[in-house]
Amino acid sequence: MMSDPSQLQLAPNGELRHFLTTEGLSKELLESILTKASGFLDSKGDLIAKVPLLRGKSVVNLFFENSTRTRSTFELAATRLSADILNLDIQRSATSKGETLMDTLWNLEAMHADMFVVRHADSGAAHFIAEHVTPNVAIINAGDGRHAHPTQAMLDMLTIQRHKQGIEGKVVAIVGDILHSRVARSQIHALKTLGAAEVRVVGPATLLPKDIEDLGAKAYYDFSLALRDCDVVIMLRLQKERMQNALLPSESEFFRLYGLTSEKLALAKPDAIVMHPGPINRGVEIESAVADGPQSVILKQVGYGIAVRMAVMAMAMSGQRTNQAGPEAPQ
């Protein structure tokens, strides 16, 4: 049985030690991530110049699952923090030759790595690694199976905060393939913790988990009804690589019922914003007129993602120093 992720993630003084999931973290800690990330942005929302917060630290990107966008933003975040970066080519690494994951990690630790950014197809992989690495190494979850994608959720929270003047009291609709989405789960936990008035999950019954309302979200099958009074609309792509059965009649039928068009968006509040974690499938979950329209903040999310990942990496390294020193260490 895995240990409590909310405890594994924290140093003795409550600072962030690893970042594995948004679940179980306090409102104060999530807000501190957003505050730290905002400090890396100027008044226009652009990234500030390079800072030396991780100078002399080594960050290893361990991507067992492909993701050019996420890996690139983590690499850019580490570069802006002045860290040294190693991108491990998993397809050519020793793991493909029979070496176990733990043997690979222990060898990287022996090279004095300070942080692993982990993306893996298996749920719980980042948690497993965090339980087994030496105490001086921080683990950042860049997405594990269907479980969690906490930095994506937090960049989404930063986007809402900056474009909707806060999260508290907002009505948010998350639309599409909820069943296979680690992003949706992390978003729901973060939104509920940060005080969103209502989180609506929208999609066909075959793509909504049966227990989704246990997370505090409300399930909708009628997209038009779900859009009414919404402040934020987050569209998700169909994750066909994780679908093992025919869960949809066709992509065209999905777009007809759940694709975001200008006509459907008009049902939400006039100042509602449109978000998407990417990559976008135009004509499947969203039409180009909306993706490129004035209510879309999709491209802004990318820049905010670098700022959030900078914040999480800097905070985790600070938490690691606290963890090494222990709660009784002199200041």
DSSP string of 99-141, one letter each residue = --HHHHHHHHHHTT--EEEEEESSTTHHHHHHHHS-TT-EEEE
Tokens standing for 262? Answer: 């200008």
pLDDT score recorded for residue 246:
47
Residue 75, pLDDT score: 96
The CATH T-level fold of domain 5-149+303-325 is Rossmann fold (3.40.50)
26 vs 45: CA distance, rounded Å? 26
CA proximity to 70, closest of 150, 131, 139: 150
Determine the pLDDT at residue 243.
42
> How high is the pLDDT of residue 325?
55
- At residue 329, the pLDDT reads 36
State which amino acid sits at residue 310: M
pLDDT reported for residue 242: 44
Domain with CATH 3.40.50.1370 in the chain: 5-149+303-325, 150-298
- The C-alpha atoms of residue 182 and residue 280 are separated, in whole angstroms, by 16
CA distance 116 to 173: 33
Which candidate, 238, 248, 200, places its Cα nearest to that of 220? 200
The pLDDT value recorded for residue 327 is 44
Measured distance CA(157)–CA(28) in Å, rounded:
14
Q: How many residues does the chain have?
A: 331
pTM: 0.91
Please tell me the predicted confidence (pLDDT) of residue 89. 66
Which pLDDT score is estimated for 258?
Answer: 95
Which residues of the chain fall below pLDDT 70?
1-6, 89-99, 240-249, 321-331
Task: For domain 150-298, say whether CATH 3.90.950.10 is its number.
Answer: no
Tokens read off for 175: 């639309």
Give the residue from 195, 97, 183, 150 showing the smallest Cα distance to 308.
150
CA–CA separation, 302 vs 159, rounded Å?
A: 10
Please provide the distance, in angstroms rounded to a whole number, between the alpha carbons at the two ends of the chain: 36
3-state helix, strand, coil in the chain (%, to 5): 40, 15, 40
Q: How many CB atoms within 10 Å of residue 258?
A: 26
Per-position DSSP letters for 161-230, written without gaps between them: HHHHT-STT-EEEEES--TT-HHHHHHHHHHHHTT-SEEEEES-GGGS-TTGGGGT-EEES-HHHHHTT-
CA atoms 172, 24, 153, 193: torsion sign: positive
What is the rounded distance in angstroms from the CA atom of residue 234 to the CA atom of residue 298? 10
What is the per-residue pLDDT for 207?
A: 93
